[in-house]
Structure 1
Amino acid sequence: MKKALLVIDAQEDFIGEHRNTDKFNYEDVDELVKNINDKIRIYEKNMDEVIYIANVLPNNFLNKKLFGYGIAGSKGAKFDKRIKIVSENYFEKQVGNAFKNNNLVKFIKDNAISEVELIGVDGIGCVFKTAKGAIKTGLKVTILSDSVGTVNPEKFIKSTIKLKAFGVAYI
């Protein structure tokens, strides 16, 4: 059984020091970054796949006006400079579920990956939607809770219950 770590949306706009803290107010970003990097190091040491997923929207007026984050070509769309990069396995998405990216699905299949562990942000958004997408793809899914940031801890608890019903494990 081959597994992969998916590092989801750990970008400057979401966890970087210049992020919009009103919108992306994670409890302890420094601890989150440390925990994410610890997981990446474990995967690197075990020679398992580390896959980086970035939320990148087309650079146009509508996206800038409506969202203002994750805009293609912006500094904020890049991974937070504190995140350890150990592979070139990089995929972009424009929706919450990373498994809507056919190139990611192909990579997972081509590398015979049967299990994924998810870390990053946000636990009630893209991590949640990607977990559901991974289950639908037929993968075993674990969310590493200490390495997932969420802006709404109460909703995160509710989403945890929903995902557990789909077979997602939480550690």
Structure 2
Amino acid sequence: MNANQNSARPALNLADIASSNGTFNVFLQAIDKAGLKELLSGAGPYTILAPTDAAFERLPAGKLDELFKPENKRELADIVNYHVIKGRRTSTQLSKWSSARTANGQEAAIEYSGDKLTIDGATMTSRDMDSSNGILHGIDKVNIPAAAAEKQG
């Protein structure tokens, strides 16, 4: 294999990209507590719709602490997987879809108007951070899948 064959993809993986960005610290903690570290460092490819730290701050008071409890690991994993799309999808590709099937099995609605792209109501705030095993997009809201939303009452 010659040296040019690897130059098409960045050397950093999704975990490296998220960590170096500095605005996805809570999302990285959620992935860790959900037991899904392999998601960001594995082969992929994945498209990650990562809520920013500010997005987590907008959750109801105490919600994040509740989700981070060991007994809620399955619910947390379900929420994390709702922010993952299998395959490498740019914002341009996503903008042409009306919905995307997430890794937890549910569809998330996609809307595109002007240059505003939303996934299940979350606005994409940063786009197309390419990595060796996928693409990361930042969003301004923590999306809650239907099953978890029903549990909230």
TM-score (normalised: structure 2):
0.29
TM-score (normalised: structure 1):
0.27
